[in-house]
Amino acid sequence: MSGQTKTWEKQQKILVILAHPDDPEFFCGATLAKWSREGHIIQYILVTCGDKGFNPTTHPEMTPEKLCGIRHLEQAEAATVIGAEPPLFMDLPDGYLIPDLNLRREVVREIRKHKPDILVTCDPQNLFAVYGINHPDHRACGQVVLDAVFPAAGNPTYFPDLLAQGFKPHMPKEVWCSLTQQPNTVLDVTEFWEIKIQAVLRHKSQVQDVDKLVERLKSRRTEDSTDENPRYEEKFRVIMYS
């Protein structure tokens, strides 16, 4: 599985649905940069604007509303570095995501609207991350996206109100779950790791120490590589529908 490559013969439309600004870059930014440079179209949808991503004690001047606007701009800059289209936001409250039917309907709407060939989200089964407990928004987002894909997005009997609005059923060919502990696909993204770092650094409101963050990202090299000749991978659980 290590070091696999993934190429498509034709240009693919790739839809990335994740919970917060900076999730695309942190979870799979090098892969997205690779795909962009291969000529694929990448569209982000962020379910929240990450409005709670600050500490009121150290940043008393900040408010959730102010941070929401800042993070919109930061994500737009990061998407430009990656080579993605300008990001779209659902702007639901940060930290409160629940994979209920209402949110599932909205995600189905977005899938039918954008009609992606490839859908990227995160693994809802990943309770733990490198920093500790995985954010519940990450898990909720992954869960609602998978629930939207199957069985709803491609079936006209689900959410007939969307069909009446002109959103015809659509099923992506592949779903890529990032931030997973059970990968079945691993991409060598060494060539694009620096782009990932530069995109992550656009999220200035979330970066406390630039040097430490860069050091941490560069330390994520594969065990079979060295500091002098590092190699980097990003891992996914890929579900195929065609």
Res. 1: pLDDT tops 70: no
* Rounded mean pLDDT, 187-212: 97
Q: Is residue 67 part of a domain?
A: yes
Q: Is residue 155 part of a domain?
A: yes
10: three-class secondary structure by DSSP = coil
Distance CA 155, CA 36 (A): 30
6: confidence class by pLDDT, cuts 50, 70, 90: low
Res. 39: pLDDT tops 80: yes
Q: Where are the alpha helices (DSSP H) in the chain?
A: 23-37, 64-82, 101-114, 136-147, 160-164, 193-200, 210-218
Q: Is residue 230 part of a domain?
A: yes
CA nearest 187: which of 236, 147, 135?
236
Interaxial angle between packed helices 101-114 and 136-147, expressed in degrees from 0 to 180 and rounded to the nearest 10: 60
* Residues paired with residue 236 on neighbouring β-strands, in sequence order: 185
User: DSSP assignment of 123-183, as one string?
Assistant: -TT--EETTEEPPHHHHHHHHHHHHIIIIIIT-TTS-HHHHHTT------SEEEEES-SS-
Percent of the chain topping pLDDT 90: 91
Backbone angles phi, psi at 120, to 5 degrees: -120, 130
How much is the pLDDT for 206?
96
Q: What is the pLDDT of residues 196-206, one digit of tens each?
A: 999 999 999 99
Q: Is residue 194 part of a domain?
A: yes
Question: Any idea what the CATH number is for the domain that residue 43 is in?
Answer: 3.40.50.10320
* Rounded mean pLDDT, 119-135: 91
* The 13-18 sheet, strands edge to edge: 88-92, 41-48, 13-18, 118-122, 174-178, 233-240, 185-188
Number of domains in the chain: 1
| Contact predicate 205/59, CB 8 Å | no
Mean pLDDT score of the chain: 95
Q: What is the pLDDT of residues 94-116, one digit of tens each?
A: 999 999 999 999 999 999 999 99
Omega before 151 within 30 of 0, i.e. cis: yes
What is the extent of the structural domain holding 219? Answer: 13-97+119-240
Res. 3: pLDDT tops 60: no
Q: Is residue 168 part of a domain?
A: yes
Q: Is residue 8 part of a domain?
A: no
* Rounded mean pLDDT, 19-43: 98
How much is the pLDDT for 7?
76
How much is the pLDDT for 5?
55
Q: Is residue 154 part of a domain?
A: yes
How much is the pLDDT for 132?
84
Q: Is residue 6 part of a domain?
A: no
How much is the pLDDT for 161?
97
Res. 4: pLDDT tops 60: no
Percent of the chain topping pLDDT 70: 98
* Rounded mean pLDDT, 78-85: 98
